Homo-oligomer: A and B are copies of this chain.
Amino acid sequence: MGAAAAVYTLWSRHLRHNPANPDWPDRDRFVLSPGHASILLYSLLSLTGYDLPIDELGRLRRFGSKTPGHPERGLTPGVELTTGPLGAGFAMAVGLAMAERFLAEHFNRPGFTIVDHRTFGLCSDGDLMEGVASEAASLAGTLGLGKLIFLYDDNGISIEGSTDLAFREDVVERFRAYGWHVQSVDGEDVEAVDHALLAAREAEDQPSLIVARTTIAYGSPGKSGTAAAHGAPLGADEVRLTKRALGWPEESSFSVPDEARREFQRAMPRGRDLEDEWTAQFERYASAHPAEAARWDRVVAGALPSGWDNVLPRFEVEDGPMATRAASGKVLNQLITVLDEVVGGSADLAPSTNTYLKGYGDLGFDEWCGHNIHFGVREHAMGSITNGMAAHGGLIPYCATFFVFSDYMRPSIRLAALMGVKTIFIFTHDSIGVGEDGPTHQPIEHLASLRAMPGLTVLRPADANETTAAWKVAVERSGPTALVLSRQGLAVLPDTGRIHEGVPRGAYVLVETGIGLPDVILMATGSEVGIALEASRALATDGVAVRVVSMPSWDLFEAQSAEYREAVLPVAVRARVAVEAAASLGWHRYTGDLGEVVGLDHFGASGAAGVLFQEFGITPEALATAARLSLARVGSDSQRPAHAADSR
């Protein structure tokens, strides 16, 4: 209620949108970063004419309604982003603004501004306390994102009480230090907010923060300005008192004063005019620049050009050993030749993550058409910004860091999965193969922790060709993908055709040393597939028929038919070993009661990668020993319980 006047001013006087078409590509974006104020957004959407009947507001926070507790992208027309986790909306908005700037540079032509919209947002003190917002604000200031404008609802109250308890910084000076244009206004003064928004729009080379001093639960006689109004509803009595204070009918719910309703109803015709105008311009643009217009239509639809995948490199055994991060870099540099919508970067690790698009420029300042983003050492904002770019549409954005630092950006990975946006996360240096940098830089639990996340496709390719196939999956998917890549060189597997068919299915039979059903199945991902192959040769020498299953993606495998899964991992073969230089958690599902897991259930260490694999027993010998143990179990028909199967 405190921010209502400021947001009303923004929506009624500045926001260029068309409630009849929430997908109009050149609409202004509005982001409600404090998602817990969802009712404010739902009210605006409903009142301005989006397809959100006012009855839905009465179903707020109910199962199956279009008005969930926090705004959810894809569920409610006009909701651009899923918000609620604080700071995330603010940081994603930076990505929306970057997407606009990039697309404007790529598509606008003299006399044609096909892309020309602003990103507006509301943020709270909670948002601005979060590190992700600090990171994003610093980058937005560095880049000078003039079309990004945030209202800051400065109500001085957080859940625990006055913000003075924990937040005494000078927000105005902090944002000035980031390079923002900052104004302070009385947030309940509509004209003051209006003037500030005009000034913000005029500051074309700086993002803007308008500090709107407000009172929480403004209008409520008993609770305004108190922490009691933060997370909890006012309560029926206080609502009645509030209505009385405002001179509104006390017994009616969801009543809207006629004056406000009339103002809001102007949004529909205005929006139609705005979009019509844009459409007319686009038609002239399409005549003048048919190729650009066709490309625009394609990227906005999220479609791929036919034959795009012809550029994907295939690798030969002689190309190896090659780190999968290096192969990924080659794929990426081929993709960009056919997919101009590819844009991304890393958290100050482009040389290490092999994510630089050579010859495609650095995005920012005078080079807004550049495809390479320098995110700085800001993993969390990087993830959020990339999500914002993906949510904007028209782009295929990626971001990259060391796999262990996926922890820093985990909330943004989750939001990508929750929103179902096509963010491509590139995580290199994926195991103790990192070597000398030691345990702070060696992922252990990260594979399991990402595999547990719904909606995210995780791929850990075993070689350069699997990397190509994994990239193809990522580009074709509509949701987010994590590519988990090695630092160290890996032998290139002979491309028998199995790889390109197998990777999209998550797991496939890479090699069989015998004919018919194998005696034992070895399962592996990534750099450990090579270890499994070596173990299979040792076992074959002893006359054991071995099947090696490469398993780059559990979630893709789980999505296959029961028949396919049975063909890869036949029920009848109970001698099974999985090897992965990572936490064993989850593998027992595939190894079963009589199987073994050769994993790593402790942290790594600083030392040469080869030494670590030996010291920690991730070796062909250990795998062969585990296979013999599992074979012996099957032979003696002893049925040890799942939980007693040792993992190492």
Is A611 positioned at the interface, with any CB of B under 8 Å from its CB? yes
Pick from B130, B407, B591: contact of A131, CB under 8 Å: B130
CA distance A640 to B593 in the complex (A): 11
Inter-chain contacts of A138 with B (CB < 8 A):
129, 167, 169
Q: How far is the CA of A607 from the CA of B437 in the complex (A)?
A: 46
Q: Name which of A253-261, A486-494, A537-545, A561-569 contacts chain B.
A: A561-569
Please name all residues of chain B whose beta carbon is closer than 8 Å to the beta carbon of A562 when the two chains form the complex: 644
Q: Which residues of B contact A407 (CB under 8 A)?
A: 85, 410-411, 414
The stretch of A6-14, A330-338, A443-451 in contact with B is: A443-451
For A84, list chain B residues within 8 Å (CB). 437-438, 440-441
Q: List B contacts of A161 (CB < 8 A).
A: 374
Do B590 and A643 touch (CB < 8 A)? yes
**Bound form: Cα–Cα A64–B606 in Å:** 8
Residues of B within 8 A of A178 (CB): 169-170, 174
Is A241 at the interface (CB under 8 A from chain B)? Answer: no
Contact A63 B611 (CB under 8 A): yes
17 contacts between A and B (CB under 8 A): A62-B607, A72-B440, A82-B440, A85-B440, A125-B377, A129-B135, A129-B376, A130-B408, A131-B378, A134-B135, A142-B168, A160-B348, A166-B374, A177-B177, A408-B411, A449-B453, A592-B641
B586 and A585 within 8 A (CB): yes
A301–B142 CA distance with the chains assembled, in angstroms: 48
Residues in B with CB closer than 8 Å to A352 are 159, 231
Neighbouring B residues of A569 by C-beta, 8 Å: 641, 643
Asked if A642 and B593 make an inter-chain contact with CB atoms under 8 angstroms apart, the answer reads yes
A166 and B142 CA atoms in complex are apart in Å by 6
Encode A605-648 as 1/0 by CB contact (under 8 A) with B.
11110011001000000000000000000000001111111000
Shortest CB-to-CB span from A310 to chain B, Å, is: 31
Interface assignment of A405: CB less than 8 Å from any CB of chain B: yes
Answer yes or no: A171 CB below 8 A from chain B CBs: yes
Instruction: Count copies of this chain in the complex.
Output: 2
CB-CB contacts of A342-384 with B at 8 A, as 1s and 0s?
Answer: 0000101111100000000010100000000011111111000
Bound: A130/B377 CA distance, A: 6
Are B351's CB and A63's CB within 8 A? no
Separation in Å of the A635 CB from the closest CB of chain B? 16
Contact of A593 among B127, B163, B593 (CB under 8 A): B593
Pair A375/B166 contact, Cβ less than 8 Å = yes
A388 at the B interface (CB under 8 A): no
A644 engages B441 (CB within 8 Å) = no
User: Is A571 interfacial (CB 8 A cutoff)?
Assistant: yes
| Residue A176 is within 8 A (CB to CB) of chain B in the complex | yes
- Tell me which residues across on chain B come within 8 A of A410, comparing CB atoms: 407-408, 410
Is there contact, CB below 8 Å, between B166 and A607? no
A601 and B454: CB pair below 8 A?
A: yes
A603 contacts partner chain B, Cβ-Cβ < 8 Å:
yes
The answer to whether B130 touches A135 (Cβ under 8 A) is yes
Q: Taking the nearest CB of chain B, how far is it from the CB of A591, in angstroms?
A: 7
**What CA separation (Å) do A592 and B589 show in the bound complex?**
8
**With an 8 A cutoff between CB atoms, is A132 at the interface?**
yes
Contacts of A414 in B (CB 8 A): 407, 445
Q: A448-B448, A569-B643 are in contact. Are A378 and B130 (CB under 8 A)?
A: yes
A639 and B570 CA atoms in complex are apart in Å by 11
Q: Does A439 contact B (CB under 8 A)?
A: yes
Q: Is A68 an interface residue (CB 8 A)?
A: yes
A222 at interface by CB-CB < 8 Å? no
Let me know if A135 and B141 touch, CB within 8 A.
no
Closest to A453 in B: B445
Taking the complex as formed, is A236 at the interface, i.e. its CB lies under 8 A from any CB of chain B?
no
Report chain B residues within 8 Å CB of A158: 348, 376-377
CB contacts under 8 Å to B, within A46-100, are: 61-65, 68-70, 72, 82-87
Chain B residues contacting A168 (CB-CB under 8 Å) are: 141-142, 179
Question: Contact at B441–A449, with CB atoms within 8 Å?
Answer: no
Interface centre among A72, A349, A417, A438 (most CB of B within 10 A): A438
Q: Which residue, of A231, A411, A570, has the highest number of chain B Cβ atoms within 10 A?
A: A411
Q: Does A207 contact B (CB under 8 A)?
A: no
CA distance A231 to B353 in the complex (A): 13
Q: Please tell me if A165 contacts chain B, counting CB pairs below 8 Å.
A: yes
Asked if residues A374 and B165 are in contact (CB atoms below 8 Å), the reply is yes
Q: What is the CB-to-nearest-CB distance from A346 to chain B, in angstroms, rounded to a whole number?
A: 8
Instruction: Please state if B445 and A454 are interface contacts (CB–CB under 8 Å).
Output: yes
